[in-house]
Amino acid sequence: MAGLVLSEEQQMLKDAAQGFLQDHAPVGQLRKLRDERDPLGYVPELWQGMAELGFTGTLVPEAFGGSAFGHVGMGQISEQAGRNLSASPLFATAIVGASAIALGGSESQCEALLPALVDGSLLTALAVDETARHAPTQVRTQATQSGDGYRLSGEKRFVIDGHIANKLIVSARSAGEPGDTQGITLFLLDADAAGVSIERTVMVDSRNAAVVRLDNVQVGAEAVLGDPGAGYDLLQQVLDIGNAQLAAELLGISQEVFERTVQYLKERKQFGVLIGSFQALQHRAAHWFSEIELVKSVVLRALMALDEGAANAAQLVSLAKAKASEVAELSTNEGVQMHGGIGMTDEFDIGLFLKRARPAQQLFGDYGYHANRFALLGGY
């Protein structure tokens, strides 16, 4: 196992992402998108800039126009996106969509979709969950054979960036009962196909999710991603990749909130003295710092395990997501509390980090889900 340090190239990518996102997608941009009720929820020029810098191709093989720079590399971009609350299709398209197509797509599917994804013209969304909580085996959306293809009917919730996607990646049940891992098939659907309806829902973090409804949507056999009835293993790989990147984003959120709060402790006076001199706050900040350092290690190890194809990668991803979720909750709670009453207002940015952290913690499984999965994968 390599040491828990970034290579020179990975550090350069981190620095590039930090500079670009600070300049072009800071917290102020999220505020503007929110206040103007922007119909897209992101700035197209920003997305094009990310594509030109190669962010969109980080997980895409070189044969299809990407750089195949790996999960550690993408993790550095996700971390900086967390620090800046940068709103973009990065997660839904360049992480989840790119991974699903690259891992499960046929040669023709990869040739048709991945270059367009890399150049920023194709946006994707993964439609997996059907209830308020993450449960990838509880698939009730039906895929019924119809001629050479299928008819799809069902409803998916919490579909990130669903309303802007050109292609939907949908899990549906072609056999078995809800709860079975066998019988799940992944499909690539055009978002504007007959029978597809998409309802945008703006979440507490001002980001975009959607409810996707499928009413007898006819697709051909070429729409199947991977093998019919055996899509769960592919789906789980994609969810692991997504969760590792969510953990990296939560790490970025935790670090930024910590640094902003420590700076505030050095400036805010109460009873004529700096509140940073209060021992109780110093103790809390020291504990908080130590927890963030732990998250740095587990997130980097999980990303490395994915790059290495390690046998315990799934377990390490659940460890990283669980710990990053726990510490993001600690960080955002402490950040708001140490800012005092003003931390509860919209005047300060600190509350925006809390609002982003909560949906990111829940997406693809919260602390409880991944703590349980970590134990199950460990044989408990």
Same fold, 126-229 and 233-377: no
Burial of residue 229 (number of CB atoms within 10 Å: 0-12, 13-18, 19+): middle
Q: Is 50 exceeded by the pLDDT of residue 1?
A: no
Confidence of residue 250 (pLDDT cuts 50, 70, 90): very high
128-144: pLDDT as tens digits? 999 989 999 999 999 99
76-112: pLDDT as tens digits? 999 999 999 999 999 999 999 999 999 999 999 999 9
Q: Is residue 163 helix, strand or coil?
A: coil
- The pLDDT score that the predictor gives to residue 346 is 87
Q: Are strands 167-173 and 124-127 parallel, antiparallel or unpaired?
A: parallel
Mean pLDDT over 352-375 rounds to 96
Confidence of residue 275 (pLDDT cuts 50, 70, 90): confident
Mean pLDDT over 52-59 rounds to 97
Confidence of residue 277 (pLDDT cuts 50, 70, 90): confident
Confidence of residue 2 (pLDDT cuts 50, 70, 90): low
Question: Domain 126-229 - what CATH class?
Answer: mainly beta
Pick the CATH number of 233-377 from 1.10.260.40, 3.40.605.10, 1.20.140.10, 3.20.20.70: 1.20.140.10
On whether the pTM is more than 0.75, the answer is yes
Q: Is residue 331 helix, strand or coil?
A: helix
Confidence of residue 273 (pLDDT cuts 50, 70, 90): confident
| Number of Cβ atoms within 10 Å of the Cβ of 103 | 17
Mean pLDDT over 223-237 rounds to 96
Q: Is 60 exceeded by the pLDDT of residue 373?
A: yes
Residue by residue, DSSP assigns 280-325 as: HHHHHHHHHHHHHHHHHHHHHHHHHHHHHT-TTHHHHHHHHHHHHH
- CA 275/CA 76 separation, integer angstroms: 33
Tell me the fold of 8-122: Butyryl-Coa Dehydrogenase, subunit A; domain 1 (1.10.540)
- The pLDDT score that the predictor gives to residue 344 is 83
Burial of residue 131 (number of CB atoms within 10 Å: 0-12, 13-18, 19+): exposed
- The pLDDT score that the predictor gives to residue 280 is 85
4-14: pLDDT as tens digits? 899 999 999 99
User: Average pLDDT of the chain?
Assistant: 95
CB 193 within 8 A of CB 217: yes
Confidence of residue 32 (pLDDT cuts 50, 70, 90): very high
The domain locations on the chain are 8-122, 126-229, 233-377
185-194: pLDDT as tens digits? 999 999 999 9
For residue 117, give the H/E element and its range.
Answer: helix 107-118
CB 45 within 8 A of CB 37: no
- The pLDDT score that the predictor gives to residue 267 is 81
Among 95-104, 227-236, 268-277, the range scoring the smallest mean pLDDT is 268-277
